[in-house]
Amino acid sequence: MLWLKQHKAMASIAVSVFICVSILTYIFLDLFRSENTKEFKSEKTPSSQEVNVQVEISENPFGDKGVDLSEKDIQNYIHGMSHQKVKADEKWIHYFITEERIQFLIDVVKNGDYKHKELYLDILSRWKNGDFSQADQDHNEIWRLQGGTVGKATGVLTKEEEEAYLEKYKKVLK
C-alpha cells in the first residue's frame, strides 16, 4: 500500500494504458470477427452475381427513396421516364432517362416481388437496349395500371420533339 501511495502517478498511467490497450484489442478483434463473418457469408452466397446486385442497388439514382421500392414507386419511375419519349396532352411526373436508372430498376424488380414484374422487365429491358419504339404503349400500360384517365400517350416523340421536351422541363426533370 505504501508503494501505491508513493507511485500514485505511475499507477494511474499503468491503469490508463491497460484500459486503452484493452479497448483497442476489443475493437481490433471485433473488426477481425466482422471481416471473417462477411467473408464467410459471401462464400455461402449462391452466386457472386447476387452479391454484385446488392452492391448495384445500394443507392437509388432517383435520389428520393431507398432501394425498397413499392409497386407504386416502380410504376411512377417508369411512367415519369416515359414522358421523355411520348406524346401526351398531360404530363405530371418527369424523370430523366439514364442507363443507371434503367439498370437500377431492372435490378430492383428482378430481386423484388411485384405483381407486374414481367411487364416492368419487358419495358426496362427494351429501354436498356435503346429501343423506345413502343414507349407510348409502355407509357399507356403503366398509365392504365395507375388508373389513368387523362394524359394517354398518342405516339412517340421525334428526336427534335424530345429535345424540346428536355428543354421545356429541364427545371423540373429529376
Does residue 143 fall inside a structural domain? yes
pLDDT value, residue 72: 94
pLDDT value, residue 118: 97
Predicted structure pTM score: 0.66
Tell me: do 75 and 17 sit in the same domain. no
pLDDT value, residue 30: 53
From the number of C-beta atoms within 10 Å of its C-beta (0-12, 13-18, 19+), residue 135 rates as buried
Does residue 56 fall inside a structural domain? no
Q: What number is the average pLDDT over the span 37-52?
A: 36
- Write out pLDDT tens, residues 63-85: 766 778 899 999 999 999 999 99
- Which of residues 3 and 93 earns the better pLDDT score? 93
Tell me: do 25 and 101 sit in the same domain. no
The b/e string for 95-122 (b: 16+ C-beta within 10 A; e otherwise) is bebeeebbebbbbbbeebebebeebbbe
Residue 48's CB: how many other CB atoms inside 10 A? 9
- Full domain range(s) for residue 159: 71-168
State the Cα torsion 157-120-42-36 to the nearest 10°: 70
What's the number of domains the chain is made of?
2
Does residue 54 fall inside a structural domain? no
Report how far Cα 8 is from the mean position of its chain's Cα atoms: 58
Does residue 59 fall inside a structural domain? no
- How many angstroms separate the CA atoms of 41 and 18, rounded? 34
pLDDT value, residue 60: 82
Does residue 57 fall inside a structural domain? no
Tell me: do 82 and 36 sit in the same domain. no
- How many angstroms separate the CA atoms of 121 and 110, rounded? 8
Which set of grid coordinates corresponds to residue 3?
508503494
pLDDT value, residue 11: 63
Local confidence band at 4 (pLDDT 50, 70, 90 cut-offs) = low
State yes or no: pLDDT of 56 exceeds 60.
no
Does residue 50 fall inside a structural domain? no
From the number of C-beta atoms within 10 Å of its C-beta (0-12, 13-18, 19+), residue 18 rates as exposed
Local confidence band at 32 (pLDDT 50, 70, 90 cut-offs) = very low
- Write out pLDDT tens, residues 83-111: 999 999 999 889 999 999 999 999 999 99
Tell me: do 141 and 90 sit in the same domain. yes
Tell me: do 84 and 18 sit in the same domain. no
Tell me: do 144 and 80 sit in the same domain. yes
pLDDT value, residue 80: 94
Helices (H), 57-98: 71-82
Closest CA to 146 of 122, 123, 116, 174: 116
Q: CA distances (Å), 39 to each of 26, 46, 130, in order?
A: 20, 13, 38
